[in-house]
Structure 1
Amino acid sequence: MKAVYSELHRSHDPQFYLVRGVVKRTTEQPERADRLLAGLKAGNHRVVAPINFGQGPRARVHSPEYLSFLAEAWEAWAALGDSGSEMIPNIHPVRNAGTYPTHIVGRLGWHTTDTSAPIGPGTWAGACAATDIATTAAQLVMDGEDATYALCRPPGHHAYRDIASGFCFMNNSAIAAAHLRLTHERVAILDVDVHHGNGTQGIFYERGDVLTVSIHADPVSYYPFVWGYAHERGAGAGLGANLNIPLPMKTGDDGYMNALETAAKTIRAFAPGALVVALGLDASEHDPLAGLAVTTAGFKRIGAAIARLGLPTVFVQEGGYLSDILGQNLTAVLAGFEEAR
């Protein structure tokens, strides 16, 4: 399986992370990619560079105002003269009869849902590289590859059409799916991150051509708290094209596989032409965010179950934070997929 990667992710190196009122170093660090690369090397995967697709794939998913904000944000922030080393919002207007602001501090609040997506001088470059990686992986599948892996950093599945949140700025998985839609009438996204893919759900919630399925820790007590419930099924043309499977905290391999079988039945019934897997490895029993308890052997089972869907598949890296077996878990997922294929 070919893997797409760029060193440009290193330009995004966030420091700020607010956890229950305590400021900590974020777990979304450049070292994550190093550990994932080690996992690719262990699996003998060929690493290829992304193609620069420009703004087109991003514009299929994100609004013009949002893309302009992200491109201009750091320069406008630095021009204030008394600003910090990262952009952290101090308002969240939730847009109740709100007017779109012109000041950079107002725009920052408008385009974020939380404080977990700090913007620094290299964030735009890193996020653009991630979208090119996801699009390149999708294009390779469109050109005939059976499956590809996109090592995206920063991740993307918490990013809405015009809102950043949860370490995410542009929705790489949604961008890959939108690109696949150029040749497929229907596409499915299977999100196996420990956190609900709320941004992906929001982007496609009223569309019937992209099925969104998310298996995640119960949002009653876990991020993102206000999205990810089983009753969220889509709306309008998208009614029935969204499936959430929240799991009790610390669910292990067998419980996870039961949920994955439910997801697989829904995907088969939808009959998509291609599949995007939003590959969070943070369901691991050793992940520092500690939501679920999937073992390395369990990740191999997940990969095999995905392979049995029989669809052209793009794996897009989402979460999975600093643990000693992060790379091993990636190796396991991809090996399980390849062996079952």
Structure 2
Amino acid sequence: MKAFLAEARQAEHYPQHFLVNGVMQPNPETPERIAALKAGALRAGCEMVAPREFGMEAIGAVHTPAYLAFLERAWERWQHIPDAAGAVTPNIHPPHRHAGYPASLVAQAGFHMADASCPIAGGTWQSALWSAWSALSAAEALLGGVQSAYALCRPPGHHAGTDLAGGFCYLNNSAIAARYLQARWPKIAILDVDLHHGNGTQDIFWTDPTVFTASIHCDPRRFYPFFWGYAEEEGEGPGKGFNLNLPLPRGSGDAEFLAALDTALARIEHFAPDALVVALGLDAFEGDPFGGLGVTTGGYGRIGAEIARRLPVPTLLVQEGGYLCPELGDNLTAFLGGSSGSGG
């Protein structure tokens, strides 16, 4: 399997703190994640490939021009604010998305940043671009005839909506790749196995019947992203019935996750996609710092194997969450081994 990574460029992004319970704490979305995930991919037999630049067309097919202009220039503009914090962080938010669009950077940050878990630092824009281009390069490999490919995306993307960052995410790599794949394959399914609900992906495809979105995640009633991820959210208009949320009680382990996966795969099989994008979060692991679910390393092998067995279509694996713990790379190795039939 080919794995796509712009290692140096994707490591440039590192706002060192984010806001938790009103207190600035160390940011767990660190550049060191790259080394752990890369080692796991190499152990699974992946061939590391440098992605290419794609420009902005494919990214602009998902995100709005105003949002992309904000992300590109936010850090530079932030430097002109006296005594500002070390990273762009909002302190005011509009009451709804139909509010006016101000000229103030601080106010634009509140408009385009859902929370204080997506601060923008000096290298954020370039890292986010190369993360998206890694996903696009992997998608291009599928279009070229490769059955499966892995994009080591960092920063991750599934909390980013059309014009909104959140939860360590800036550009929605999975959504961007899915749209790109539609140039050849009209029907795409996105299966999100991250600990947290893929609210940005849901938002992007909310009314779209050509992309089926499914997310297995920790119950949001008391867990991020809190406001999205409930079972009754099914899409709207032409997209109604094309969004599936499977929230799990906190602490759920392999058995519960695999049961939810069976439900998700059955719905995706019924949709009959031409290709599959897996938003591959590894933070549902029992030892992940966020501690929401209890999937084991062996469980990741079984999850990868079941997806590959049930959905033998061109498959793009896009890295989402999964934070530093001794088993992070092993969890990726297990998933990739299971999906390729060599483990799990």
How far, CA to CA, are the matches of 1:96 and 1:266 in structure 2? 31
When residues 94 and 316 of structure 1 are mapped into structure 2, their CA distance, relative to the original with a 3 A threshold, is farther
- 1:95 shift after superposition: 2.8
1:310 aligned onto 2:287: no
In the alignment, is the contact (CA less than 8 A) between 1:57 and 1:175 conserved in 2? Answer: yes
Farther off after superposition, 303-312 or 19-28: 19-28
Encode CA deviations 1:122-144: one digit per residue, 9 max, x unaligned.
Answer: 10000000010000101100110
The equivalences for 1:1-341 within 5 A come to 1-7=1-7, 8-95=9-96, 97-308=98-309, 309-339=311-341
SS of the aligned residue for 2:220 comes to coil
Q: Classify the secondary structure of the residue corresponding to 1:220.
A: helix
Contact 1:95 1:110 survives alignment (8 Å): no
User: Structure 2: how far apart are the matches of 1:68 and 1:97?
Assistant: 19
Structure 1 pair 297/78, CA: closer, same or farther in 2 (3 Å)?
same
- AA partner of residue 3 (structure 2): A
Aligned-partner SS, 1:52? coil
Amino acid at match of 1:118: P
Q: Which amino acid in the other structure matches residue 327 of structure 1?
A: G
1:119–1:33: structure 2 CA closer, same or farther, 3 Å change rule? same
Whole-Å Cα distance in 1 between the matches of residues 277 and 79 of structure 2? 37
CA distance in 1, matches of 2:303, 2:81: 48
For normalisation by structure 2, the TM-score amounts to 0.97
Bigger drift between 289-298 and 98-107 goes to: 98-107
SS at match of 2:176: helix
**Whole-Å Cα distance in 1 between the matches of residues 312 and 39 of structure 2?**
27
SS in 1 for 2:157: coil
Distance apart, 1:96 and its partner CA: 5.7
Q: Distance in 1 between matches of 2:74 and 2:97?
A: 23
Deviation at 1:82, TM superposition (A): 2.6
Amino acid at match of 2:99: G
1:94 positional shift: 3.4
Task: Give me the whole-angstrom Cα distance separating, in 2, the residues matched to 1:97 and 1:42.
Answer: 48
* Unmatched 5+ stretches in structure 2: none
What do the CA deviations read for 1:128-161 (whole angstroms, capped 9, x no partner)?
0001000010110011000000000000000000
Distance 1:307 1:228 in 2: 25
Which stretch of the first structure deviates more once superposed, 89-98 or 42-51? 89-98
Deviation, structure 1 residue 51: 1.1
Q: What is the percent sequence identity of the aligned residues? A: 51
Q: Separation in 2 of the partners of 1:323 and 1:224?
A: 22
What is the CA–CA distance in structure 1 between the aligned matches of 2:57 and 2:163, rounded to whole Å? 16
Partners of 1:331 and 1:141 in 2: CA distance: 21
Where structure 1 has 5 or more consecutive residues not aligned to the other structure, the ranges are none
Alpha-carbon distance between aligned partners in 2 of 1:185 and 1:231, rounded to the nearest angstrom: 26
Q: Which amino acid aligns with 1:113?
A: A
Q: What is the number of equivalent residue pairs in this alignment? A: 341
Aligned-partner Cα distance in 2 for 1:79–1:14 = 18
RMSD of aligned Cα (Å): 1.1
Aligned-partner residue type, residue 109 of structure 2 = L
Is the 1:307–1:340 Cα contact (8 Å) retained in structure 2?
no
CA distance in structure 1 between the aligned counterparts of 2:342 and 2:228, rounded to whole angstroms = 33
Between 12-21 and 170-179, the greater mean CA deviation after superposition: 12-21
TM-score (structure 1 length as normaliser)? 0.98
- Say if 1:187 and 1:272, in contact at 8 Å, map to a contact too: yes
Residues 266-325 of structure 1 show CA distances to partners (whole Å, capped at 9, x for unaligned) of 000001100000000000001000010000000000000110111110000000001000
My pick for the range that moved more, 189-198 or 304-313, is 304-313
Question: Which residue identity lines up with residue 315 of structure 2 in the other structure?
Answer: T
CA distance in 1, matches of 2:305, 2:265: 12
